[in-house]
Amino acid sequence: MKKSRGILSLILVVVVIGVLAFTTIVGWGGSKTGAAKNITLGLDLAGGVSITYQAKGDTPSSEEMADTVYKLQKRVEQYNTEASVYQEGSNRVNIEIPGVTDANEVLEELGQPGSLEFQTSDGTTVLDGTDVKTAEAKSTTNQTTGAAEYVVELVLTDEGTQKFAEATSANINKNIAIVYDGQVISNPMVKQAITGGTAYIDGMESYEEAENLASSIRIGGLKVELEEISSSVVGAQLGEEAVNTSLLAGAIGLAIVILFMIFVYLLPGLASGIALLVYTGLEIVLLNAFNITLTLPGIAGIILSIGMAVDANVIIFARVREELAAGKSVKTSLKTGFHKAMSAIIDGNVTTLIAALVLGLKGSGSVKGFAQTLALGIIVSMFTALVVTRLIIYAFYAIGLKDVKFYGIRKHRNTIDFLGKKKIFFAVSIILILVGPVCMGIYAGQGKGALNYSLEFMGGTSTNVTFKEDYSIKEIDSKVIPVVEDITGDANVQAQKIRDTNQVVIKTRTLDLEEREEFNKAMVDNFKVDESLITSTNISSTVSSEMRVDAFVAVAIATVCMLLYIWLRFKDVRFATSAVLALVHDVLVVLAFYAVARISVGSTFIACMLTIVGYSINATIVIFDRIREERKLHSKEDLVELVNRSITQTLTRSIYTSLTTFITVAVLFVLGVSSIKEFAAPLMVGIVCGAYSSVCITGALWYVMRTKIGKKK
């Protein structure tokens, strides 16, 4: 790169940062607020619409209500991945959709659940919604033209299969209309008798049209018919303070990380710091552009992707310093360093991206929200590390900053005998893992529950209180919540304001009659509330059993996919197996921390575990990449020495990446509100554990498998 091009490159980077800063803070087109203020926030951070439905007719069974909640959850996720649905009392369902301020608009679009019928041309109903098991949009290819076609696949129940076989046999070349909420939403013609229980509706112009029809059929297929009885706009659960402190923590953490990188890596550190600014601006703008909802789990995904962005730079610069230490020129070292770092960066990021894509496709609720922000962050971080950082560092070189003192040389480090201490490491890990089930067993025996499950997992009591004055979320947190915690003896309390009223919905663990009376008395005595305006009801968990199964299946599939990718890339199943075992190790250690510290297990628990999975696998890949490289160069060398040297050579990367990510989360812990602290604390444990397992466990596991399984050296 010539000097003039180097200057132009730096000017271009400055302009890009300026544009991103303006877009993020100010905005375009006369907007008074930029992308940072326009990001769609979840119900926990910004509030939204709350709608209550009630079952028509007799009280449904618990199974029917559970089925209704699950299917409604799938339906409302089209509005927002962070929407939640839960049962209220015995015959009511509550829907909360973040980022929405017009309840009537949602009601109009959502329609009236439970009113789907299949009718022949003379108006006879041959099927209803309960006869449909599933409805999914599908994309196929026309065998003749090669063009894409979009259909809806219907899978019927056993009873529905029999009904539909009779109806289609009697109506060949006639239409059977699908009527939803009193309107015909599709009127397909029967081309042949359908007896197998699976039918296809074709003629859709786009996948979105097919998905809309499928979702209408799904919601119309509820076993319970519902009617809307109330709707309201609710405020944030965490309040503006949580958002502001999170943003401040992110800014401080980013500043510390940039200063740290400059201190450690000199000129390349400055280049990575500038690239991180570009990354941050792009991330905010794209979150806004793709209308991705940001919640606490989403913040977890961003934190992980920032860590991975730093990680990529650390890998590159460590490689550059190795080349400089070998006596090569700065220019050659830069070129070789980027080239050698490429495989580790790609493998680490692709592995995590696979997990994010699977979680996004198969997960629901907070799992899907986490996956979206993580996937976006990974793509942006790879771009900034491999393109932006490279552009900046070569521009610096081109304008005359060519002296090796600007880049630093890796100091020689004696090889550490990690494998010689493997029995100690394994013993420590086993002890840490066993602490979890032991504590869980003790607490369960005391009747406290194995883990401190939150309202999202256990359900509880929802109480609506009308206060004499309009309290802010901050005032509710400081004045009302402590009074409630004294009554329940539990810090797991959530509060939501109903906008434009003095009403506050307070959710707690399930209260018995005596505790409800004590609650009412405390509200009257402390806040002069009119007791007649206090209403309470039991609510179900917002994370249903089906959603838990979905999350488990998504994580299992993601793990298998990561295992297969590592196996294919490293051509040794033992690399994949030891990586997954280390991943499981980290999850179990953090679970033990949840058990010991009695930190609330809720939606952030899922996000925390998923973050650790992504972080752990990425750290492991870097070490395995070095082992793979060293084996190609020194195939006849003693395996113990080779593995120890590989771990030692990547030790700086492991420490620095863990440290920078830990700093970001630690600032979040120090400045954050209580709910954010509960999220940040186990995340810090997971980061430390991930660093420990990648350095002390994964290489040792691979060595043991390599030498004990197959007896190869």
Q: For residue 644, is it within any domain?
A: yes
Q: For residue 509, is it within any domain?
A: yes
Question: Averaged in consecutive runs of 10 residues, what is the pLDDT profile of the chain (713 residues)?
Answer: 86 88 66 58 68 82 81 72 77 78 63 72 84 83 79 88 91 89 84 89 84 77 73 63 70 85 90 89 82 67 69 86 89 90 85 80 68 82 88 92 86 87 94 93 86 80 89 82 85 78 86 89 91 85 68 78 86 87 90 89 74 77 88 87 91 85 83 73 89 91 84 48
In 586-651 the beta strands, taken as DSSP E runs, fall at none
Q: For residue 490, is it within any domain?
A: yes
Give the span between the Cα atoms of 180 and 215, in whole angstroms. 11
Half-sphere exposure (Cβ direction) of 706: Cα atoms closer than 13 Å: 20
The string of DSSP codes covering 519-560 is HHHHHHHHH---GGG-EEEEE--SS-HHHHHHHHHHHHHHHH
120 and 108 fall within a common domain: no
- Determine the pLDDT at residue 712: 47
261 and 383 fall within a common domain: yes
- Residue ranges making up the domain that contains 108: 48-112+230-234
Domain boundary among 221, 253, 288: 221
Which CATH number belongs to the domain containing residue 336 in this structure?
A: 1.20.1640.10
587 and 533 fall within a common domain: no
396 and 305 fall within a common domain: yes
Q: Do 381 and 309 form a contact (C-beta atoms < 8 A)?
A: yes
90 and 181 fall within a common domain: no
391 and 429 fall within a common domain: no
- 532: tokens are 């007649």
8 and 72 fall within a common domain: no
- Determine the pLDDT at residue 440: 92
- Determine the pLDDT at residue 427: 95
317 and 395 fall within a common domain: yes
Domain boundary among 504, 539, 574: 539
- Determine the pLDDT at residue 692: 92
Residues, the chain, total? 713
368 and 255 fall within a common domain: yes
Give the span between the Cα atoms of 306 and 303, in whole angstroms. 5
- Which is nearest to 662 in space by CA: 690, 637, 638, 642? 690
Q: For residue 449, is it within any domain?
A: no
Q: For residue 599, is it within any domain?
A: yes
280 and 399 fall within a common domain: yes
The string of DSSP codes covering 355-374 is HHHHHHHH--THHHHHHHHH
Q: For residue 444, is it within any domain?
A: no
Q: Do 393 and 261 form a contact (C-beta atoms < 8 A)?
A: no
Which CATH number belongs to the domain containing residue 535 in this structure?
A: 3.30.70.100
- Determine the pLDDT at residue 71: 74
Which CATH number belongs to the domain containing residue 90 in this structure?
A: 3.30.70.3400
H or E stretch at 348: helix 330-362
| Number of independent structural domains in the chain | 5
- Determine the pLDDT at residue 713: 44
Give the span between the Cα atoms of 560 and 473, in whole angstroms. 43
- Determine the pLDDT at residue 640: 93
pTM of the model: 0.72
85 and 138 fall within a common domain: no
- Determine the pLDDT at residue 238: 60
Domain boundary among 194, 221, 248: 221
Q: For residue 412, is it within any domain?
A: no
Q: For residue 518, is it within any domain?
A: yes
Which CATH number belongs to the domain containing residue 198 in this structure?
A: 3.30.1360.200
149 and 249 fall within a common domain: no
Give the span between the Cα atoms of 437 and 583, in whole angstroms. 18
